[in-house]
Chain A
């Protein structure tokens, strides 16, 4: 199977958010960057399917600055065969621009599957996957938690409010992966060492403007500290009264 996985370098979820001096982005001092956790499910699925098929290739494609090479090497360490960096120092914050660049890179590549994480944990547009699919005119299912492939067709499950959708689609297809799809492997230490020997190509970013401009980044309004109504079950009637009369939520 020939599978492409589109991955992203993101700030670790434990990061304490500080706004940079320009007022529009994250202050990166002391921030740890990692492979987007949802992309791990995509990488794992790609590797599993290639291993099950017995032959094929898994390629990791990423849009980002030069340091994104480290993130691609994380995927190579997990077992991905080669990597491509579409190097962009600006313009990569717009999902449509990123989708255009990915579509240009992936077009004509003969991929059976193009996998992504359902969302990046930094800007969480949840858009690059379905946008890339539209641009490539490929079927797409998002946020999948289960996947079965039989020849040139597939079935996936995705969570919706109050249930699970079972979706059928033909291959080749674009799929975005959600938690629960699989258990991502740790890169074996041997794999980490082998990663630097695998091919990693850097190309210029070909994504053109999607029209989204960040005017400012701010911290959300602080919640005021509230009050302890009391101790134990005896405080409950007073709590209920406050919820009704003061907060007016009941």
Chain B
């Protein structure tokens, strides 16, 4: 059995955290060691999400952790929220994706764009894990360009009728509720995009798992099809309007992902460093050879940089001054460096590195999805480019 994870803290960042932030991080770290690590290898191979852990995660308060206590949430600050995502992804990106979606992409839009009735009706149930949600923005033909979506919502006497399809939707097949983004006006009119709370048992709503994934296997990824789905007037998120609304949700999720990637990188580095000290070849541990040391030094450097980046980002978010472009920089950098860490760790592990018994290759595969989703690496590059130059290079 693997010993308990000790974390990576080369620059004594623990000293920059409050006692509560450390305690929260340590609680989730411990929980992951005891409950997730023993099952994740098997879940990944079998291609299933460990849903037996959902009630436990809810009890701890992991869903919508940075939303207010009055809605049944933990009311934590954003650094604590980030640390939670870091520790979950140290376990597995798919499990962290579940929490990101539930908290950042389902509970957050209801909190930010919903009416008081909607908040009181849905948030406590989502916080409790009894109701699972999913976020329907991406479409089969509209990934990096969500503004081009063709899912539509037409107003009726009693409410709305939705038609369209969404793809790559985490939690889609297990969700009881979907936050669906649809155009209420002409297809060319991005400003007509509104958000809708759609119960997944509504007539005309189907969700189907996407099979054959080689990444995020311990996560449910689905297609959603809406065929004349009727919802009441109370389904509309009244304060939503335009592409800005779903993008604000993505900013929340991306913030968590920037932290999460550090977790995955720490897991791979820790595994590689431990292996390097124990694995003997040519009469000494492989950690004594220059090329392996170089790998480990690179990993530690990148992790340390990313940690400091995220801590400042979290403090800015708590101060209310964080910008989406700042999140883009962190997501882009951290996921990229995590991909490198995972790959180099896998290589250091040699043949053992291809076994599910070791974590690095699973993280390596998962991180490819994390690199692509929530704004691909390239998209965030252009976000920064536009921020720097003022010039739009998207099209």
A interface residues (Cβ-Cβ under 8 A, vs B): 14, 32, 70, 73-74, 77, 186-190, 192-193, 195-196
Contact = CB atoms under 8 A, between A and B. Distances in A.
Given A14-B3, A14-B6, A193-B74, A188 B23 contact: no
Contact of B76 (A32, A70, A186, A189): A189
A187 B27 contact: yes
B76 to A, nearest CB: 6
A196 B62 CA distance: 20
B40 to A, nearest CB: 18
Interface string B47-82: 000000000000111100100010000111000100
A195 B18 CA distance: 13
Contact of A192 (B23, B30, B59): B23
A189 B19 contact: no
Nearest to A185: B59
A77 B23 contact: yes
A193 B18 CA distance: 11
A189 B74 contact: yes
Nearest to A193: B20
Nearest to A77: B23
Interface residues of B, number: 21
Given A14-B6, A193-B74, A186 B60 contact: yes
Interface in B231-279: none
Given A14-B6, A73-B19, A196-B20, A188 B60 contact: yes
A73 B65 CA distance: 20
A195 B4 CA distance: 25
Contacts of B225: none
Nearest to B77: A193
A190 B23 contact: no
B361 to A, nearest CB: 26
Contacts of A192: 20, 23-24, 27
Most chain B beta-carbon contacts within 10 A, residue among A186, A192, A195: A192
A173 to B, nearest CB: 31
Contacts of B6: 14, 32
B358 interface: no
B31 A186 contact: yes
A93 B358 CA distance: 42
Contacts of A193: 20, 74-76
Given A14-B3, A196-B20, A189 B27 contact: yes
A195 B74 CA distance: 13
Contact of A188 (B4, B30, B59, B84): B59
Given A189-B65, A190-B69, A193-B76, 4 more contacts: A32-B6, A186-B30, A188-B59, A189-B60
B69 A189 contact: no
Contacts of B59: 188
A188 B59 CA distance: 7
A220 to B, nearest CB: 20
A188 B23 CA distance: 10
A187 B65 CA distance: 14
Contact of B74 (A73, A186, A190, A196): A190
6 contacts: A70-B19, A189-B27, A189-B80, A189-B84, A193-B75, A193-B76
Most chain A beta-carbon contacts within 10 A, residue among B3, B27, B31, B65: B27
Contacts of B84: 189
